[in-house]
Each structure stands twice: as structure tokens, then as C-alpha cells.
Structure 1
Amino acid sequence: MKQMKQTTRPPDQRPADVRNGAATAAPPPARARKRRRPASTQWAAWGFLAPVTLYLALFYAYPLYRNIDLSLRNYTVRSFVQGDAPFTGLANYRTVFDNPTFAPALLHTALFTAVCLVFQYAIGLALAVFFNQHFRLSATLRALFLVPWLLPLIVSASTWSWMLNTDSGVVNAALHALGIGPVDWLTSPSWSLTSVIIANIWIGVPFNLVVLYSGLQSIPAGLYEAAALDGAGAWRRFWSITFPLLRPVSAITLLLGLVYTLKVFDIIWIMTKGGPADSSTTFATWSYQLGFGNLLPAFGPGAAVGNLLVVAALVFGLVYVRVQRKQALS
């Protein structure tokens, strides 16, 4: 039998488009595909960044630098004008720490900030949950609750000073109608800090209400319906759905409230000026008293107290960023 020789042809290793008769040009290399951004686009980007950069440099970076420089030099009125203050290092900070007002001011600042944050957040959250029910006149009442937030601080503080006046205030008049004696809200060391805390809580509640109410709008209504079908009551739905899902919004609300409350000055100064006997003095009012409240201003120690507030706000801000990063990774 005659054996036929079979020849095997190597497989066609050409590209599929060439084998099918549709030869196309090879794609250009990666470097060739990259095109340089036009110069006009780059200039446009810098043009949009320039106003923000200039604003941050003029109103944040430079004032912070000047405040640090003030706290490290022995400035007087003369040297402040001429700019020849000697460098003293951390001497102004030691002066602040050794001052007998430091401990009470630190305690008052901590109490003022903590109590205001707790009550502002709790009342704001309760009102946000209440208005989230979308009943009739809900929008009108929400708008009315924004009035304390929209008023100038000097108007709000002056109004509370009149309301809490010992002799002619409406608060003491209401207490008298209930058979309670008058309270020296603004002139008693036992009540002055409480008075400014009440006023600041009233002013800060609308901000918490607005932010937390917007956070509630992002929670799907289907979760509440499913929980209700499972037999969960209103309190259970709040702790199992509302509060956990509102945690990111709550964190940023508390952080912004903390930064704002740390630097509150207008309300305290208008109502009590930090008195009587420094009973309502905080770091914000003490810094102003040191720098501008005396005939011989102490610019260095006043700037040092202000820097302590900056450091406190920065620490809490870094803690917030770290917690948010952990939550994002988990």
C-alpha cells in the first residue's frame, strides 16, 4: 500500500483581523497615544486655583503665621508698631500656664464646649426626627427654627442679656409668677456660665437641626417599612436604623460644632464680659482680655492663648480624619 506523505502546515500566527482579510494598522504605542495637555488648559486650571490659593494665603496662612510670631516674641505697643520685638521663645506660654486664670479658663472652656455640644446635638436630632414626619406646617416651623441662626450674634446676645436681667428680665418675671425668687443670672458667679451656655445652645440648635435633617433625608424609607413589618417600634427603629446610618453626618456636625464653640467670644463678652470674677472666662475671652482689654496689652500671652485654641481644634480635626479613614477601610 502506497503511503501518502502528509505535510503539516504550521498554524497561522497572523492576527485574526489579517487572517480574515481585514488588515488594519497596528495601534500606536502607549507613549504616542499620550498627548500633552494644551498650555491654555493648564493656564485655565491655574486661573481657577489662584483665587482660592490667594484667599487661603491672605486670610489663613498669614494670620496664623503672625499669631505664632506674636506668641514667640515680647511685643509691646511700641515694638508692635516698629516691629523690633525681641525673640523670647516659649516664655509667653510659660507666662500663660503660670497665670492663676489659666486653670479656671481651661475648665470653663471645657464645660462650655461639652455642655453646648451635647444639648445642641440632642435637641437638634430630636427636632430633625420630629420634622422628618412631614406633617402639615412642617416647612413653616423649620423656617421659624432657623431664626436664631440667622440673627446677628450681637442681637441674640443683647436679647438674652435683656431676658436674663435680674430686675427687668422676662425670665425672672416668669419665675416670680411661679413663686420663685429672682436669680442673678448675669451677675452671680454661680449662674454666669450657665447663662451664656443657655444662650449659645439656643443659637446653635438650628445648625444641628438643618444638617441632621438633611442626613435623615438620605436614609431609605424602605428600611423603616421593613422594620415596622418585623414588629420594631419607633424607639427600636431609631436605635437600629436612624442613629447608625446618621453616624457620618453626626460626626461632621459635632466636629463643626466643636470648632465653632471653642472660639465663641461675642455671646460671652456681650452678656458677662467673662465675669463676674472670671466665673465665665474662657480661652476666647481671656485671649481678648490679654491682648486688648488692658491699658498695657500683653500681645504675646494673648496670642499664646489663641494658639492653644488652634491646637485644640486641630487635634480634634485630626482625630475625626483618623476615625473616618478607619471607617472607610473597614
Structure 2
Amino acid sequence: MKILAIESSCDEFSISIIEEDKILCNIISSQIKDHQVYGGVVPELAARLHLQNMHIVLQSALKETETTIESIDYVAYTEKPGLIGSLIVGKTVAEAIALYIDKPLLPLHHIEGHIFGASINHKFVYPVLALVVSGGHTQIELVHSPNEFEIIGTTQDDAIGECYDKVARVLGMGYPGGPLIDKLAQTGNSSKYLLPIAKNDNSFDFSYSGLKTAAINLIHNAEQKHEKLELKDFCATFQFAATSILKIKLEKAVQKFKPLTLTVAGGVSANSSIRKLIMEIGNTYNLNTIIPDLEYCTDNAAMIAKLAREKLINQNH
């Protein structure tokens, strides 16, 4: 079984080909440099660049894997969620390929793809408790099978990645600023400043708008008083506040739902503090703990290819 998968939900256009359980290629056309000048992703520009680059990515995938388009058995693509224009480009390319080779088309969910991206080179034992952390989503999901996902907690406003990037922008770090905050936080004092642990309640939901506002106010107050902001200490304090609530809620979810596997997914799963807290919880509760390979943390088509394969296998059992 050979599957060609397309991921185009935001500012990356990616094509991956998987054969059996082996990722043959994972070609990604990134647009970060094109959007940096605007301080974030411009939806119309992202869609136009997808149109401009899609044939190059497809040709590269086929060439790298020495695959003919006719040998593909299934075509998978990200149906939702994401930027509408970007999703439409990916869907149109997938439909054209599937129509040309007369093979089945599989529309898939972006977040489910992220979760299964963690299982590339690893094995899920169900049920799986997944922490989803990205620019647009912060969720805890209980995965019973590749076809059964249960959202048990989600953000009520900003996602964690969105919060990182907005605070980084106010600090003048540019876009994307999350990785730079993480890097600076490594050598900072996390108790130097005072920031809230947001929505520390009995629910499994999250809220990052309050932390974002508090962090930005702290920055502006320091500027107005002409006080020097110790950047490393501020980043460490911010990161502690942002990630502590993840650990608190995830640990409560582990205690209640008793999963056999614990994992983390999404672009922010590359964050060092988040990777560390996942391992700590996993070790405490003796869980099968899976940290995704860094190459599969950000948006990529390999995760969609893996999800497609697991769904097809699950349907046949």
C-alpha cells in the first residue's frame, strides 16, 4: 500500500509518500521568510505561494522516491482546520491527482495528523492521551483508535503557540518568536518576575489570553518606568507560567483516564520545557511515553500519510 499525502493548512506546502510503514519522503516548502516581514502568516500570500510551489514539491517527492504517480494507491490531504485558501489549494491538488490515477481520496483532520506524527518511528498502545500544542490549538485528546478521538480539554481563547508569538512580537523578537523565548529561558531565573498560572481550575480547559495580557503589561510597564527588562529571566518566567498549567492539567487527565500511552503533538511540542514535562509525567505514571521526532513537530505531510495508513489498517480489522 502506497499513499501520497498533502499538507497545506497554513504556510507550508508538503508532500509525503509512505509505503507500508516507511516514510519514503517528506518534502516541505516553507514560507517563513516570506511572512516574517509581516510579523505573522498572511493567508492570501500563503495560498498564492502554495499555488506557485506545489508542482515543484510534487516533482521533488516523485523524483526522490523514484515513484510514478500511477503506482500510488491512495491520495490523502488535510481537509481541516486551517487557512481556507491554503486548504483549498491542497484539496484541489489532491483531487486532481486522485482523478487522474483513479484512486481513492482521503480527506483528513490536521490535528489528528499531528497526533499520529508522534507515532512515526514509535508505536501507540491505546488508549493514548495526547497533549496538542500549536499556534492555533491547545487541547488534551483521548485517542481510542485511529478513527476515534475524544477532546477532553481545549483552550477557551488563545493557544499556547499564539501566546508565545504575540509576546515575542512585543519583545521585538520577530516571527516566529516562540523558539527564541524557549532558547533564552534555558539560562534565566523563572522566579524573577510574577506572571499568572492561567485557568488553574478543576477543568481540563486552558486559557492563555490572561497570561498574554499580563506578560505584555509587564513589558510595557518596564518600558514606561525606564527599567531594564532582564530578557532571559523574563523568558524563563513566562515559559514557566505557560507550561506549568500544561503539566497540572495533563497530570489530572492521566489520573482520571488512565491511558497506556502519553504523547505530545503540534509545532510547540519542539519546546524543551514541554518535552521535559511529558517525560516527567510519563515516568511518574510508568506510561509508554512518546516524544515526536523534531522533524515531525511542525506541519508536514508525513503525519498525514501516517494517519491515513493507520486509519486504513484500522478499517480492515
| Structure with greater strand percent | 2
- Report the TM-score when normalising by structure 1: 0.24
Q: With the length of structure 2 as denominator, give the TM-score of the two structures.
A: 0.25
- Structure of higher CA gyration radius: 1
Structure with the higher fraction of residues in helix conformation = 1
